[in-house]
Amino acid sequence: MEKRMPPPYARLKDPASYVPPRIVRTSRLDLCPASVDDAAAVAQARGESHAELVPWFHGTMGNPGHERDARWQSERLAEAVEAAQRRERLSYLAWASGVCVGAVDLIPQWRRGQFRLSYWVRSSACRQGYGAQAVNAMIRAAFGALDARLVTTGHAAPNTASAGLARTLGFRQIACQPLRYEMPDGLLVDGIAYAIEDIAVLPPLKVAWA
C-alpha cells in the first residue's frame, strides 16, 4: 500500500532564523544578493532593457532616465537590501563573467513554505539560456536552502517568452485569471500562474550555494 504523506501545516518558525544563501552558483552564473554597490551595473542592464521590460514591469519601473541612473538604482537596491533583512523579499542579481545579466526575486510566505518568483533578463543577454538557468538555480536553492514546499510564478498572457521558460522548466499551470494585468496602454489581459512542488521536474543543473 502506498504510504500517504501527512497533510501540511503552517510553520511557526521565525522567518529571521532562515539564512538566505550568500551566493548561488552554476557553471555560467553567480547569483548574489542585491547590494547598493551594484547600482552602476544594474543601471546599465536596466537602462539598455527598458523598452523590453516595461510592458511587463511598468507598474514598478522608473522612466528610461531613472533606470539608467546609478543613484536612482542605488536607492532601489537599498530598499531591496532592507526587504531581504526583514525576510520579505530576497533579491538576487545574476552575473556572468562579471556582467549583470538579470535578476531573480523570491517573495516568501514563510508560514506556508511558499515562494513567489519574479525575474528579468537584460536585452543583450536574452536567448542565451541565462534566464532559464538563473530561475532553475534559484528554485533549487529555495527548496534546498530555504525549505520551500512550493514555488510559484506568473506572467501576463501576451508574454510568450515567460510562457516558454515556464514550459522549459517544468512548471505546472495552476490558474488563468481574467483581467489580471494592465498593459502600459491600459489594455487588460489575462494572467497565467504556475507552480513547482518538486525539483525533480526541473531540467538537470549543477548548482551549489553557500
d(C-alpha 142, C-alpha 118), whole Å: 13
Domain ranges of the chain: 22-209
Q: Is 14 exposed, middle or buried (0-12, 13-18, 19+ CB in 10 A)?
A: exposed
Tens of pLDDT, residues 131-184:
999 999 999 999 999 999 999 999 999 999 999 999 999 999 999 999 999 999
Mean pLDDT of the chain: 97
pLDDT at site 7: 87
- What's the confidence (pLDDT) of residue 1? 58
Per-residue confidence (pLDDT) for residue 2, from 0 to 100: 63
Task: Provide the pLDDT for residue 5.
Answer: 76
CATH topology (fold) of 22-209:
Aminopeptidase (3.40.630)
pTM to 2 decimal places: 0.95
**Could you tell me what percent of the chain has a pLDDT over 90?**
96
Condensed to tens digits (0 to 9), the pLDDT of residues 23-42 reads 999 999 999 999 999 999 99
Buried b (16+ CB within 10 A) or exposed e, 51-77: eebbebeeeebeeeebbbbbebbbebb
